[in-house]
């Protein structure tokens, strides 16, 4: 790129910028993107914390909008150089209908792509998910896999189906001509289960443990490993990918990258105990306290109750056949593709990530008292 262009200040748009990941992406951009001139934060629900960011040197524009509304998306995208599309409906508990999940995750992504094409925005980073790959419904382990590992991806649940469709739209859009004649450059990042400050499920487990007198009960064998990734590192990977898409368009365009860092591979419950343990909780049982078939039965019962009660009340417990299958299937990632393609190295060590998360859980727990 020419020197004059290097000095140019860029306009970034973050969709879903007030969500768990989105807030970290927003803050990371402000801290680590020297070319940032304006940051647009687009979300259906704007957070009050955005106000404090408006006093800094970078112009921060909060836009309340809905990705399913094409005209709202187009207005937000117009004039942006880079879009980080992280808005999504994350629901594996049956809170939203399959149609709504599809509308937000697939049609919303289509609207973002079309807005880029119509308004001439050239760079698009999409937050995909590990669930585009798996775990599949057959319970096949994905062990230390990378972006090229062969795996039978079978999606039935609306959330992974929607993420897979949306990711495909983003990758297929790479190379399309945008307004002004230049090509659109896209890539997709696939986080595994994200943890860190703002992680609601972690906070819910903590509160549940407090209610149970400080105990949590093992349900999943310790041998089932999950890859988890710290939210600060996921945000950092988004910022780097967005920055490097321009310089390395030929290499990165149309590519997918798992999000990874140095977090240890552990079972979902043992990993959570890395944070909940220092907050005073204990996980009871070296082995699951209930036989697996009982969990399968309870998960099926929850699904039935959800269906029966739907006309009256929303019943959406943590345990359902899908979450049980995900929690019971090994899914770990081992790759260096992002490092090779755009120089990604985790910004936060495991020790830092752990400490930051523990401090947040402690604060979130005490504010609930």
Ligand X SMILES: C[C@@H](CO)CCC[C@@H](C)[C@H]1CC[C@H]2[C@@H]3[C@H](O)C=C4C[C@@H](O)CC[C@]4(C)[C@H]3CC[C@]12C
Ligand Y SMILES: NC(=O)c1ccc[n+]([C@@H]2O[C@H](COP(=O)([O-])OP(=O)(O)OC[C@H]3O[C@@H](n4cnc5c(N)ncnc54)[C@H](O)[C@@H]3O)[C@@H](O)[C@H]2O)c1
Query: How far apart (Å, rounded) are the C-alpha atoms in residues 153 and 136?
Result: 6
User: DSSP string spanning 305-320?
Assistant: HHHHHTTT-----S--
* Partner from ligand X, ligand Y, none contacting 81, C-beta within 5 to 8 A by type: none
Could you say whether residue 19 binds ligand Y (CB under 6 A)? yes
Choose the contact partner of 269 out of ligand X, ligand Y, none; CB within 5 to 8 A by kind: ligand X
Nearer to ligand Y, 38 or 66 (CB): 66
- Work out whether 219 is an interface residue with ligand X (CB under 6 A): yes
Residues 23, 43, 225, 269: which binds ligand X (CB under 6 A)? 269
Choose which of 10, 76, 80, 89 interacts with ligand Y (CB under 6 A).
Answer: 89
CB 258 within 8 A of CB 237: no
Give the range of 43-51, 150-158, 304-312, 359-367 binding ligand Y by CB under 6 A: 43-51
Can residue 18 be called a binding residue for ligand Y (CB under 6 A)? yes
**43: contact with ligand Y by CB under 6 A:** yes
| Interface with ligand X, residue 131, by CB under 6 A | yes
Neighbour-count burial for 25-46, b at 16+ CB within 10 Å, e otherwise? bbebbbeebeebebbbbbbbeb
Among 10, 77, 82, 87, binds ligand Y (CB under 6 A): 87
Chain Cα centroid distance, residue 250? 25
Residue (173 or 327) nearer to ligand X, CB: 327
CB of 130 to ligand X, least distance (A): 6
β strands within 36-87, DSSP E: 36-43, 59-64, 82-85
Whole-number Cα distances in Å, 313 to 216, 306, 310, 316? 27, 9, 5, 10
Question: Quick one: CA dihedral 199, 201, 204, 205, positive or negative?
Answer: negative
Q: Find the binder of ligand X among 109, 111, 129, 136 (CB under 6 A).
A: 129
Site for ligand Y contains 129 (CB under 6 A): yes
Cα–Cα separations (whole angstroms), residue 1 to 4, 71, 183:
8, 32, 16
Q: Does 44 bind ligand Y (CB under 6 A)?
A: yes
Q: Looking at 13, 14, 36, 67, which residue binds ligand Y (CB under 6 A)?
A: 67
Nearest approach in angstroms of CB 9 to ligand X is 33
Query: Which residues belong to the active site?
Result: 159
Nearest-10 Cα torsion for 18, 19, 23, 24: -170
Please, are residues 89 and 15 in contact by the beta-carbon 8 Å criterion? Answer: no
Helices (H), the chain: 3-6, 20-32, 50-53, 70-77, 98-102, 108-119, 158-173, 200-211, 231-247, 249-252, 268-276, 292-309, 321-327, 337-342, 350-368
Using rule CB under 6 A, residue 68 touches ligand Y: yes
120: alpha, beta or left? (left if phi > 0; alpha if psi -120 to 50): left
Give dist(CA 289, CA 215) in Å, integer: 13
Q: Which of residues 166-205 bind ligand Y (CB under 6 A)?
A: 191, 193-194
With CB under 6 A as the rule, give the number of residues binding ligand Y: 25
Judged by CB under 6 A, the stretch of 61-69, 170-178, 216-224, 291-299 that binds ligand Y is: 61-69
Q: Which of 11, 16, 50, 329 binds ligand Y (CB under 6 A)?
A: 16
Which part of the chain contacts ligand Y (CB under 6 A), choosing from 63-71, 139-147, 276-284, 303-311? Answer: 63-71
HEC profile for 143-181? EEECCCCCCCCCCCCHHHHHHHHHHHHHHHHCCCECCCC
CB 163 within 8 A of CB 227: no
Binding-site size for ligand X (CB under 6 A) equals 17
Residue 323 binds to ligand X (criterion: CB under 6 A): yes
Under the binding rule (CB under 6 A), the answer on residue 256 touching ligand X is: no
Contact residues for ligand Y (CB under 6 A)? 16, 18-22, 43-45, 66-68, 86-90, 104, 108, 127, 129, 163, 191, 193-194
Residue ranges binding ligand X (CB under 6 A): 90, 92, 129-131, 193, 201, 219-220, 268-269, 318-319, 323-324, 326-327
């Amino acid at each position: 790129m020419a020197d004059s262009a290097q000095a140019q200040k860029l306009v970034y748009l973050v969709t879903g910028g007030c969500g768990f990941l989105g807030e970290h992406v927003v803050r990371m951009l402000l801290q680590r993107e020297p070319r940032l001139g304006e940051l647009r934060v687009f979300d259906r629900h704007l957070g009050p914390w955005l106000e404090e960011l408006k006093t800094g040197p970078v112009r921060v524009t909060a836009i309340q909008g809905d990705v399913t509304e094409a005209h709202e998306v187009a207005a937000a995208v117009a004039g942006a150089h880079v879009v980080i599309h992280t808005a999504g409906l994350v629901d594996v508990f049956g809170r939203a209908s399959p149609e709504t999940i599809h509308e937000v995750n697939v049609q919303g992504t289509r609207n973002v792509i079309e807005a880029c094409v119509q308004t001439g925005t050239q760079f698009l980073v999409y937050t995909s998910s590990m669930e585009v790959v798996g775990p599949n419904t057959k319970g096949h382990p994905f062990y230390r896999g990378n972006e090229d590992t062969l795996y039978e991806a079978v999606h039935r649940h609306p959330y992974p189906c929607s993420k897979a469709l949306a990711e495909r739209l983003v990758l297929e859009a790479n190379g399309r001509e945008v307004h002004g004649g230049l090509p659109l450059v896209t890539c997709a990042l696939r986080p595994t289960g994200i943890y860190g400050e703002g992680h609601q499920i972690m906070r819910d487990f903590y509160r549940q443990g407090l209610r149970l007198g400080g105990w949590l009960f093992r349900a999943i064998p310790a041998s089932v490993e999950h890859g988890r990734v710290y939210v600060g590192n996921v945000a950092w990977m988004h910022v780097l990918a967005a920055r490097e898409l321009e310089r390395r368009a030929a290499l990165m365009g149309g590519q997918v990258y798992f999000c990874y860092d140095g977090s240890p591979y552990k079972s979902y419950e043992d990993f959570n105990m890395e944070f909940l343990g220092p907050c005073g909780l204990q996980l009871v049982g070296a082995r699951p306290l209930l036989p697996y078939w009982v969990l399968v039965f309870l998960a099926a019962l929850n699904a039935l109750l959800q269906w029966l009660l739907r006309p009256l009340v929303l019943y959406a417990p943590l345990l359902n056949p899908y979450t049980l299958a995900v929690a019971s299937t090994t899914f770990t990632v081992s790759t260096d593709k992002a490092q090779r393609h755009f120089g990604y190295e985790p910004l936060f060590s495991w020790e830092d990530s752990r400490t930051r998360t523990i401090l947040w859980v402690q604060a979130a727990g005490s504010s609930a008292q």
